[in-house]
């Protein structure tokens, strides 16, 4: 897909301003949403050779960060900030790829654990090398810009009750 010869978000802001207020806010939120689409597409393309999407990669990283490579599905949902149905789907896909197993919790038979396999540990390392070599798709930004974006979005996330 070829790029446009103009910035459609700037044009939308121009037209928006002729009708409604909050131009800067509309332009910012539209820019954030478009950047998210672009980044997900880029990261998913980097992860595809590993039979991963960014969502599945995040789940594997979360398991890697856990003390023993296993977490209850409910805890994964909380930490990934996704619905339980989404976690179940992620774990099923990761299980089909051989990256996790789904085991009953030894102390609570109603609870299931996602357990990272050796293959899952290996793929998360390979995938991480690919993503970090690409700087998570953010190579066009300077370190100071990255810090500023993170700080600004932290304010927004905190105000929304994200933490």
pTM score of the predicted model: 0.92
Q: Where are the beta strands (DSSP E) in 1-147?
A: 70-72, 100-104, 112-116
pLDDT single digits (tens) 108-132? 888 999 999 999 999 999 999 999 9
CA–CA separation, 53 and 116 (whole Å): 17
Asked if residue 91 is part of any domain, the answer here is yes
129 and 55 share a domain? yes
Cβ atoms of 80 and 60 within 8 Å: the answer is no
22 and 58 share a domain? no
The mean of the pLDDT values for the chain is 96
28 and 67 share a domain? no
How many domains in the chain?
2
65 and 43 share a domain? no
121 and 103 share a domain? yes
pLDDT single digits (tens) 51-61? 999 999 999 99
46 and 64 share a domain? no
72 and 122 share a domain? yes
CA–CA separation, 132 and 135 (whole Å): 5
Closest CA to 91 of 110, 71, 106: 71
Asked if residue 143 is part of any domain, the answer here is no
99-137: b (≥16 Cβ within 10 Å) or e? bbeeeeeeeeeeebbbbbbeebeebbeebeeebeeeeeb
Question: Domain span at residue 23?
Answer: 7-50
64 and 128 share a domain? yes
- pLDDT of 1: 64
35 and 91 share a domain? no
60 and 89 share a domain? yes
């Amino acid at each position: 897909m070829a790029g446009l010869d103009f910035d459609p978000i700037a044009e939308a802001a121009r037209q928006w301003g002729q009708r409604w207020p909050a131009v800067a806010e509309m332009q910012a939120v539209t820019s954030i949403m478009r950047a998210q689409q672009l980044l997900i597409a880029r990261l998913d393309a980097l992860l595809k050779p590993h039979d991963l999407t960014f969502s599945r990669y995040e789940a594997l990283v979360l398991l890697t960060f856990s003390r023993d490579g296993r977490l209850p599905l409910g805890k994964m949902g909380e930490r990934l900030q996704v619905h339980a149905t989404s976690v179940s789907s992620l774990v099923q896909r990761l299980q089909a790829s051989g990256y996790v197993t789904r085991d009953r919790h030894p102390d609570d038979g109603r609870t299931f654990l996602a357990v990272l396999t050796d293959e899952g540990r290996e793929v998360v390392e390979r995938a991480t090398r690919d993503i970090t070599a690409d700087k998570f798709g953010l190579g066009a930004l300077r370190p100071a810009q990255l810090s500023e974006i993170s700080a600004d979005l932290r304010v927004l996330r905190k105000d929304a009750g994200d933490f």
